[in-house]
Amino acid sequence: MTTAAQDFLRNAAVKSADLIHRKTIRNSIDHYDSAVVRGRARFQNWEAAREKCQAIKRDGIEHLDRYLEEFESKVNARGGQVFWAENGEQARQYIAALAAKHNVRTISKSKSMVAEEIHLTAALEGKGIEVFETDLGEFIVQLRKEPPYHIVTPAMHLTRGQIAELFKEKLGGIETDDPSMLVAAARAALRRAFFSAEMGITGANFLVADQGLAAISTNEGNADLGVTLPRIHLVLAGIEKVIPRMQDLAILWPVLAASGTGQPITCYNTLVGGPRGANETAGPEEFHVVLLDNGRSELLADPEQREVLHCIRCGACLNACPVYRNVGGHTYNTAYPGPIGSVLTPHLRGLNQFQHLSYASSLCGACTEACPVKIDLHHHLLENRRNAVSDADRPLGERIAFKLWGWSMGGASRFAFLGGVGKFLLRALYGLGIEGTAIDPLRPWTKYRAVPKLAAESFRARWSKNHAVE
Amino acid sequence: MPKVALFIPCFVDQLTPQIGVDMTAVLRRVGYEVTFPKDQTCCGQPGFNSGYWDDARPLAERFLRVFRDAETIVCPSGSCTTMVRIFYPQLLAGAAHETEAREIGKRVFEFSEFLVKVAKVTDVGASFPHRVTYHDACHALRELHLKQEPRQLLQAVRGIELVEMPFSEECCGFGGTFSTKFSAISAAMGETKAGNAAQSCAEFITSTDPSCLLQIDGILRHKKSPVSTIHIGSILAQTGDAGGAR
C-alpha cells in the first residue's frame, strides 16, 4: 500500500469516528441542501439547464485547441500576455520571475484551486513574497496554516467559536464571536493587504474564447479589488476552463451559483481581459494569463474520461458525497477532494499513488446526480479501479483472492459446496467465542457490525428438497 | 400461467435464503409460475466493482448462458439487477456476447419493479400491521430509477404504517468490498443511516436490497437497537395467517 493510501486510511478512521466533525459538516451541508433546493427550483427545467451546460462544456473541450488560441489572440490584441504552462513547475517559475522583475513584495490572491494544485503560495513565500488570501474562507484557513477543506467553502469545517478564537489570537485583541464583527476584523486586515499589493493573482471560473475574457465570480468582491488595485494582474487557470462564447455565461453563471451555494447568481461576476486601456481610469498596468496543462492534455486524450474536464468546480459533488461528509476535506490530501478529486487526481498525480481514492467510495452515485454538467462521476471511479488492476500495483493477496473467487463461482456445485464449508467453519469458530475479537477473520466487518444470522440451509438446497419452497 | 425465472444473488442464496422463499411465494400468489435455473452462481459484481473485470467477465458470460432461455428474470436486489442491466454491456463491450449482454437487460427486473411495471400489481394481498420505513437503495434509486414502485407496493399492504425517514436517499455505506476495505467510513455511513431511520420511530427498516439490509442490520444489532430490518419481499409475503413477522 502506498503512503498516501495509508495516510488516507488512518485519517479517515479518525475523522469518521469524530462525532463533532460529523455534526458540524451535517449542519453546514443541511443549510447548503435547502439553499440548493430553492436554487434549482428557480429554473423552469433544471434537467434542461444541466444538459445545456454539459453541451457547452463539451463543445469547449472537444475544440479546446481552437478556443484556447482564439482566447489567446484576443487577450494579446488587448495588450495582455498569455503563458502556456505545461506543468506546475513552469507556472510557478513564470509567476515568480514576473514578481521578481517588478520587485513584488506583496500579492493579494483571490481563491484559486489551480494555485492549490501547483502549491503556488508556498513557492512564492519561499521567494520572500507575502501572499494574502483575500477570500474570507481562504483567509481563515491561511491563518490556521491549513489547506482549504472544500473547493467552494474552504472553512466549512470550522465553527464560529473556532474562528473567533483564531482571530483573537492572530489579528490581535479582537474579542468577539459576532459574525459581522468578525467579518469587519477580517476586512480591516485585508484592506491593508489590498492596498499594499503590487500584484493581484486570481483564478478564473471560465475563459471566454470569443471575447478573450476571464470570468471570475466571487461573493465578496475580493477578486475585483485584486484585479483593480495592484499594478499587475495575473489570472491562473486550467486549460479546461475555456468556453466558446460570451452568451454561454447566461446559463453557466446561474447554474454554477445554484449548484455551488444555491444563489440565483454569485454576487460579483467580473470579466477581465487586458491591462488598463488608454482611456480607462482603473485597472492594472500589466495583464497576464497562465494557462496550466499539468496532465489535462492526457485526460483529453482519454475518450472514456475526457468529460471529467467539463467540471466547473461548483463543489456540489463534495456536498452530496456521504464519504466526503464523514472523512472531511483534509483527509483526501489532494487539491481537489471529494468525488471529482477521486476521479481526477489519479490523472493529475498518478494512478498508482492515488488509486485508493477510487476505491474509497460506496459507488452510491449521489455525486453524479448532483453534478450540474452531468459528469458520470461514480462510473468513472469504476473505470479507475479497472485501470488500477490493469496498470497499477494492487496487493497480491487481492489479486489471488479474486482469482479464487472467479474460480469458486465458476460452477454451481462448487459454489454451493464452498458456501456450505465457509458457513460451517464460521459457525465452528464463532462457537469458540471469537466473534468480534482481534482474531475474528471477519474483523473488518465485526468491528462495527454484527454478522448476519447464518441460515441453516441455502436457497438452492431448500429449492431442491422441496420444489414448492413453501 | 406466465413464467418467471428467479435470479437469486449469491449472498442471498447462502446467507438470507428466506428472502428468496418469500419472493417466490409472492410471485406465485400474483399468478406466476416460478422456476429456478440451478446452475446460477454470482453475477460477477464483486469482481467488477473492485476492478477485476477480467475475472468478472466469465461470470457474466456464464449468467447469459444460464438465463438464455428465461423470458423474464426476477431478482430480489436492485444492485444485482443493475449489474446485469447497466454494467454487462460495458463489461462485455467488444466481446462475443455484447449483443446478448445488451438484450438481457430488458428481461431482468428487480422484484418491486417487476410487480409494478410488468405484472402491474400493487396490492399483492399482504398484511403487515407494523410501522415501517423504506430505505432507498442506491442502485435501485439511481441506476434503475425506482422510487415510487416499492412505496406503492408497501402502501397497499394491510395494516402497515409507512413512514419516511429523513434522508432516505442517503447511502447506507455498504458498497460491497468498500464495507471491509474502508470499514470505518462504511460504519460511519451506516450509523448515520440507522440514526435517520430511528428518527422515523419505525419498527422495521425495509428496502429492495438485501445487501443494504445486511449492513443496516449489522449496525443495528451491534448497537443493540430494537429496530429490525426486513426485505420488501418478506413484508409482501406476509398474509396475516402465519403469525409473527420475524
Query: What residues of chain A lie within 8 A of the CB of B57, using their CB?
Result: none
**Stretch A317-339: mean pLDDT:** 97
| Cβ–Cβ gap A450/B173 under 8 Å | no
Which residues, in sequence order, are CB contacts of A238 under 8 Å at separation 6+?
A114, A117, A291, A292, A293, A294, A296
Q: Where exactly does CATH 3.40.50.10420 map onto chain A?
A: 46-297
Kindly give the confidence (pLDDT) of every residue in chain B, 246 residues in length, as a single tens digit, with 9 standing for 90 and above: 899 999 999 999 999 999 999 999 999 999 999 999 999 999 999 999 999 999 999 999 999 999 999 999 999 999 999 999 999 999 999 989 999 999 999 999 999 999 999 999 999 999 999 999 999 999 999 999 999 999 999 999 999 999 999 999 999 999 999 999 999 999 999 999 999 999 999 999 999 999 999 999 999 999 999 999 999 999 999 998 654 444
To the nearest whole Å, the CA of A81 is away from the closest chain B CA by 45
By Cβ distance, the residue of B14, B169, B184 closest to A17 is B184
Q: How confident is the model at residue A354 (pLDDT cuts 50, 70, 90)?
A: very high
Residues 397-456 in A contacting B (C-alpha not used; CB under 8 Å): 398-399, 402-403, 405-406, 409-412, 415, 419, 422-423, 444-445, 447-452, 454-455
- A39-45 — which CB contacts under 8 Å span 24+ positions? A39/A257, A39/A258, A39/A259, A39/A261, A39/A262, A39/A263, A39/A264, A40/A258, A42/A254, A42/A258, A42/A264, A43/A254, A43/A258
Smallest CA-to-CA distance from B52 within A422, A308, A395 is with A395
Choose among B51, B175, B215: nearest Cβ to A361: B175
For helices A3-16 and A351-359, what crossing angle results, to 10°?
A: 30
Per-residue pLDDT of A178-234, as tens digits, reads 999 999 999 999 998 999 999 999 999 999 999 999 999 999 999 999 999 999 999
Does A136 score more than 80 pLDDT? yes
Q: What is the pLDDT of residues A232-289, one digit of tens each?
A: 999 999 999 999 999 999 999 999 999 999 999 999 999 999 999 988 888 999 999 9
Backbone angles phi, psi at A219, to 5 degrees: -100, -5
The pLDDT of residue A142 is above 90: yes
pLDDT for residue A302 is more than 60: yes
Residue B69 carries which side chain, given as an amino acid letter?
D
Which residue from A382, A398, A445 is facing B183, i.e. has the nearest CB? A445
Q: Which helix (H) or strand (E) holds A397?
A: helix A396-408
pLDDT confidence of residue B11: 96
Interface residue A30 vs chain B (CB under 8 A): no
Could you tell me how many CB contacts below 8 A there are between chain A and chain B?
A: 191
Query: pLDDT category, A467, cuts 50, 70, 90?
Result: low
Chain A residues with CB-CB distance to B92 below 8 A: none
Distance CA A144, CA A138 (A): 10
Using a CB-CB cut-off of 8 Å, the residues of chain A touching B59 are: 406, 409-410
Instruction: Return the residue in B183, B196, B227 with the most chain A beta carbons within 10 A, the one to mutate for interface testing.
Output: B183
pLDDT tops 60 at residue A156: yes
Please indicate whether, in this complex, the C-beta atoms of A451 and B218 are within 8 angstroms of each other.
Answer: yes
What is the spatial distance between Cα A310 and Cα B84, in angstroms, rounded to a whole number? 29
- CATH for A46-297 is 3.40.50.10420
Cell of A422: 465457509
Report d(CA B4, CA B61) in Å as an integer. 20
Most A CBs within 10 Å: which of B7, B10, B15, B32, as the mutation test of the A interface?
B15
Q: CA-to-CA distance for B6 and A88, rounded, in angstroms?
A: 56
| Window 138-197 of B, Cβ < 8 Å to A | 138-139, 142-143, 169-171, 173-190, 192
Contact state of B169 with A366 under an 8 Å Cβ cutoff: yes
**Rounded Cα–Cα distance for residues A320 and A301 (Å):** 29
Tell me how far apart the alpha carbons of residues A346 and A305 are, in angstroms, rounded to a whole number.
12
Confidence at residue A67, expressed as pLDDT on a 0 to 100 scale: 98
Are A450 and B221 an interchain contact pair (Cβ–Cβ within 8 Å)?
A: yes
Nearest Cβ partner for B184 among A12, A368, A405: A12
For residue A392, what pLDDT band results from cuts at 50, 70 and 90?
confident
pTM here? 0.95
Contacting residues of A for B175, CB less than 8 Å apart: 361-364
User: CB burial class (10 A; 0-12, 13-18, 19+) of residue A36?
Assistant: buried
Chain B CB contacts of A406 below 8 Å: 47, 52, 55-56, 58-59
Residue B106 to chain A, least CA–CA distance (Å)? 21
Interface contact flag, B49 A382, Cβ < 8 Å: yes
User: Could you give the 3-state DSSP secondary structure of residue B81?
Assistant: helix
Judged by CB atoms within 8 Å, which residues 46-75 of B form the interface with A? 46-56, 58-59, 62
Is the CB of B15 less than 8 angstroms away from the CB of A326?
Answer: no
Report pLDDT for A341: 98
Q: How far is A199 from chain B, CA to nearest CA, in Å?
A: 43
Mean pLDDT, residues A93-121 taken together: 97
| pLDDT, position A454 | 86
Q: B35: nearest CA in chain A?
A: A467
- Residues in A touching B176 (Cβ below 8 Å): 362-363
The neighbour count for residue A350, using CB atoms within 10 Å, is 14
Cα dist from A417 to A8, A62, A203, B41, B228, whole Å:
38, 53, 61, 12, 30
Q: Which chain A residues touch B40 with a CB distance below 8 Å? A: 412
Whether the CB of B33 is below 8 Å from some CB of chain A: the reply is no
Question: What pLDDT was estimated at residue B107?
Answer: 97
pLDDT at B65: 97
Task: Give the H or E element holding residue B109.
Answer: strand B108-110
Disruptive mutation site among A409, A435, A462 for chain B (greatest number of B CBs within 10 Å): A409
Strand order in the sheet with B204-207: B161-163, B131-134, B204-207, B228-231
- CA-nearest residue to B143 within chain A is A365
A326 interaction partners in chain B (CB closer than 8 Å): 185, 188-189, 192
Are the Cβ atoms of B38 and A415 closer than 8 angstroms? Answer: no
Q: What is the pLDDT of residue A468?
A: 54
Strand order in the sheet with A286-292: A81-85, A286-292, A232-238, A199-202, A106-109, A130-133
Give the separation between CA A300 and CA A310, rounded to whole angstroms: 10
Please state which of the ranges A64-68, A389-393, B100-104 shows the lowest mean pLDDT.
Answer: A389-393
Q: Is the pLDDT of residue A317 over 90?
A: yes
> Are the CB atoms for A229 and A237 separated by under 8 Å?
no
Percentage above 90 pLDDT, chain A:
90
What's residue A469's pLDDT? 55
Residue B138 and residue A366: Cβ atoms within 8 Å?
Answer: yes
Inter-chain residue contact A409 with B221, CB threshold 8 Å: no
The pLDDT, as a whole number, for residue A270 is: 96
Query: How confident is the model over A80-89, as a mean pLDDT?
Result: 98
Would you state the cell numbers that stand for residue A395, as one nine-digit string?
Answer: 496487493
| R_g of chain A computed on alpha carbons | 26
Contact B185 A369 (CB under 8 A): no
How far apart are the CA of B145 and the nearest CA of chain A, in angstroms? 11
Cβ <8 Å between A362 and B186: yes
pLDDT at B242: 53
CB contact (8 A) between residue B41 and residue A411: yes
Report whether A388 contacts B192 (CB < 8 A).
no
- What pLDDT score does B244 carry? 45
What is residue A173's predicted lDDT score, i.e. its pLDDT? 75
Sign of CA dihedral A347, A348, A354, A357: negative
Chain B residues whose beta carbon lies within 8 Å of the beta carbon of residue A17: 184, 188
Cβ(B3)–Cβ(B72) under 8 Å?
Answer: yes
A467 phi and psi, to 5 degrees? -50, -30
Residue type, A411: G
Contact B192 A405 (CB under 8 A): no
Distance CA(A20)–CA(A305), nearest Å, equals 37
Q: CB-based contact (8 Å) between B20 and chain A?
A: yes
- Of residues A363, A406, A452, nearest to B175 (C-beta): A363
Domains and CATH numbers, chain B: 3-118 (3.40.50), 131-237 (3.40.50)
